[in-house]
Amino acid sequence: MSPQELRASVSLAGIFGLRMLGLFLILPVFAVHAPQLTGGDDLVLVGIALGAYGLAQAILQLPFGMASDRWGRKPVLVAGLAVFVAGSFLAAGAHDIWITIAGRTLQGAGAISAVVMALAADLTREQHRVKTMATVGATIGFSFALSLVAAPALYQVIGMGGLFSLTGVLALAAIAVVVWLVPEGPRRTHAAEGAASGALRMALFDPQLVRLNAGIFVLHMVQMAMFVVVPPLLVAAGLPLPGHWKLYLPVVLASFALMLPPVLHADRRNAGRGVMLGAIALLAMAQGGLAATGPRIALLAPLLLAFFAAFNVLEALIPSLVSRLAPAHARGTAIGVYNTAQTLGLFVGGLAGGWIAGRYGAAAVFGVCAALALAWLALALGMRPVNRIGGDSFTMGTVKGR
């Protein structure tokens, strides 16, 4: 990779990491904190509060991606991060569940994920794009993992308002990274703008992209739904909230060690499809195991390890496949559709997880998640391998030797 490609990869991963860390810091503690808010004893409203930013992003990811195709990536990035900052500080002052939901919705309205990934693809050559997109994608998994370890301890020190304020500060830091560290993307030409106007149909209906978009919806629905019930389950197992890091830290570190070999194999051997199928199967098995397991730490720990390993592999792999399938002139639009599916999964997962848990219990949440993962696996089996042919081109077909 050239120095500019390395700079682009690291700086854009940093933006993604700062923003996603801010979002995920709320996840491990909010379900336990919510009863202290007016209206927070309703699990459905708790689920909506967790997933509200996902709904806002689902609505706005595509407009942000299309805007970046037309007017450039960096101005749209700064605007989206500023909106996220405003939502963070609104939620920081909330004393009831409704203001919290409003703040989370405004956070989600800064829907820049598609723009970050499109700019990452703009600034790297095709032969290095898997590394770049894997770096950006893995940052989501790392931010999620770090939040699980850090959030309980931070919550004890600064409270929920402090956590929301911290998310705003992290987003301000991300704006500084955009302005001073991220390289400029290629200039948008009139020809590119005209081509982008017809890109939405391709992004919505290409069979390969449809499979990936459906998959990321399921992955993030599962993630949000299970963390409506995992923190209370750990408390019921005898692990108080301040001590959750004792489980999360070793599990998360081990999951990153397990993630690296399959991701590197997928990159070096062009084996993305096979690695993706294996990770989906592992995700389904982990959710099935959690459905059959009560509040027992000895059983929860290995199942959470399996979940994190599968989640990290998929978060690193799927964005790189999307970026390779999308042509350069429509990359922001295609990734916008992808991120719309991703964030819609977060909203639906929070809402569905709260509703199912309130009526049928934690085991039913995990059972539904297992069924969704199996449905995704069946859909993904029909996906053809994506072959690298150099430059910004791509082809779909059978890899030689398969």
pLDDT value for 386:
65
pLDDT band at residue 178 using 50, 70 and 90 as cut-offs? confident
pLDDT band at residue 387 using 50, 70 and 90 as cut-offs? low
Question: How confident is the model over 306-324, as a mean pLDDT?
Answer: 85
At residue 344, does pLDDT exceed 60? Answer: yes
> Coil, strand or helix: which one is 386?
strand
Among residues of the chain, what percentage have pLDDT more than 70?
87
Question: How confident is the model over 19-41, as a mean pLDDT?
Answer: 80
pLDDT value for 390:
41
> How far, in Å, CA of 133 to CA of 139, rounded?
10
> Coil, strand or helix: which one is 395?
strand
Asked if 54 contacts 270 with a C-beta cutoff of 8 angstroms, the reply is no
Mean pLDDT lowest among 70-79, 200-209, 225-234, 373-382: 200-209
At residue 75, does pLDDT exceed 80? Answer: yes
At residue 14, does pLDDT exceed 90? Answer: no
Most confident of 22-26, 194-198, 248-252, 386-390: 248-252
At residue 346, does pLDDT exceed 60? Answer: yes
Higher pLDDT, residue 395 or 322 = 322
Higher pLDDT, residue 48 or 390 = 48
Rounded to a whole number of angstroms, the distance between the first and last alpha carbons of the chain is 29
At residue 296, does pLDDT exceed 80? Answer: yes
Per-state percent for the chain, helix, strand, coil, to nearest 5: 85, 0, 15
398: left (phi over 0), alpha (psi -120 to 50) or beta: beta
pLDDT value for 378:
94
pLDDT band at residue 115 using 50, 70 and 90 as cut-offs? confident
> How far, in Å, CA of 232 to CA of 1, rounded?
45
Closest CA to 55 of 21, 115, 106: 106
Residue with tokens 């599990």: 251
Confirm whether pTM is higher than 0.85.
Answer: no
Asked if 49 contacts 224 with a C-beta cutoff of 8 angstroms, the reply is no
pLDDT value for 199:
67
Higher pLDDT, residue 84 or 201 = 84
The CA-CA-CA angle for residues 317, 319, 210, to 5°, reads: 105
Asked if 288 contacts 186 with a C-beta cutoff of 8 angstroms, the reply is no
> How far, in Å, CA of 333 to CA of 253, rounded?
34
Contacts of 179 (CB under 8 A, 6+ apart): 74, 78
Mean pLDDT lowest among 79-83, 105-109, 192-196: 192-196
pLDDT value for 145:
73
Question: How confident is the model over 248-274, as a mean pLDDT?
Answer: 82
pLDDT band at residue 332 using 50, 70 and 90 as cut-offs? low
Q: Where do the domains of the chain lie, and which CATH numbers do they carry?
A: 3-396 (1.20.1250.20)
Mean pLDDT lowest among 81-95, 196-210, 247-261: 196-210
Among residues of the chain, what percentage have pLDDT more than 90?
19
Neighbours of 198 (CB within 10 A): 11
- Can you spell out the DSSP letters for 134-179? HHHHHHHHHHHHHHHHHHHHHHHHHHHHHHHHHHHHHHHHHHHHHH
Higher pLDDT, residue 38 or 385 = 38
> How far, in Å, CA of 240 to CA of 246, rounded?
10
Most confident of 2-11, 179-188, 365-374: 365-374
